[in-house]
Amino acid sequence: MEKNINTRTQKMVQMAILVAIMLIFAYTPLGYLKAGPIEITFMVLPVAIGAIILGPAVGAILGGIFGVTSFIQCFGASGFGALLLGLNPVATFITCIVPRVLCGWLSGLLFRALHSTGKMKTASYFIASLATALLNTLFFMTCIIVFFWSNDTFISTMAGESLPTNAIWPFLVAFVGVNGVVEAAVNFIAAGTVSKVLSKTVNK
């Protein structure tokens, strides 16, 4: 009984630390790097680490916090977010929240599945970390296309930023481009390494 309480307390403390890191990221330039409509975010790092170390449920919660901070950015801090908010507030809220919750939850499930197989124990940290970034991008861009692609104001604004808007795939490639690659690479290396190191400490 006492051991279970200590484990829960330890888990809550670890989660609180990750939340604190996310808030620091969210309200300093560390979390969101912006260049026109293109934004690189490192908020997915603590989401991946939490999902791997503390499980899918915590990954989903941290993803939700990531989503809330992303939605708050839409109120002036992010030009692209402000555009989406002005076009459709409800769709913007869904676009900010749902992809982040899903990426945290699913990457936690993926890690759990891979880690249970003997040959994938080490690789599971890096695969799940990479998956967190890729799933975030996949779900976010899916929401963008579903909710905003048919909006003339959105299309004209993106065209004004020199992004191709004649078809979906060229737009996706151009929009995701460098930021998607950077996010995936950083998450793969940093979150994978940190989560692997932390797992040894947590599981002692």
Alpha-carbon distance of 50 to 12, in angstroms, equals 11
CB neighbourhood size of 47 (10 A): 34
Residues contacting residue 65 through CB under 8 Å, at least 6 positions apart: 19, 22
pLDDT of residue 125: 96
Structure tokens at 201: 């400490």
Tell me the pLDDT tens digit for each residue of 68-103.
Answer: 999 999 998 888 999 999 999 999 999 999 999 999
- Mean of pLDDT values over 43-50: 94
Per residue in 98-129, is it b (16+ CB within 10 Å) or e — as a string? bbbbbbbbbbbbbbeebbeeeeeeeebbbbbb
Find which of 25-29, 87-91, 112-116, 180-184 is predicted with most confidence, using mean pLDDT.
Answer: 87-91
Structure tokens at 23: 């808030």
Residues in the chain: 204
Q: Higher-confidence residue: 42 or 184?
A: 184
Q: What is the DSSP letter of 167?
A: S
- Mean of pLDDT values over 4-28: 84
pLDDT at 156 over 80: yes
Percent of the chain with pLDDT over 70: 93
Quick check: pTM over 0.85? yes
CATH classification of the domain holding 25: 1.10.1760.20
At 197, the amino acid letter reads: V
The range of the structural domain enclosing residue 183 comes to 2-202
pLDDT of residue 106: 98
pLDDT of residue 36: 58
Q: Higher-confidence residue: 167 or 32?
A: 167
CB neighbourhood size of 152 (10 A): 8
Domain count, the chain: 1
pLDDT of residue 78: 85
pLDDT at 202 over 70: no
- Mean of pLDDT values over 97-124: 93
pLDDT at 64 over 60: yes
pLDDT of residue 7: 72
pLDDT of residue 38: 61
pLDDT of residue 3: 57
Alpha-carbon distance of 57 to 43, in angstroms, equals 17
Contact 32, 73 (CB under 8 A): yes
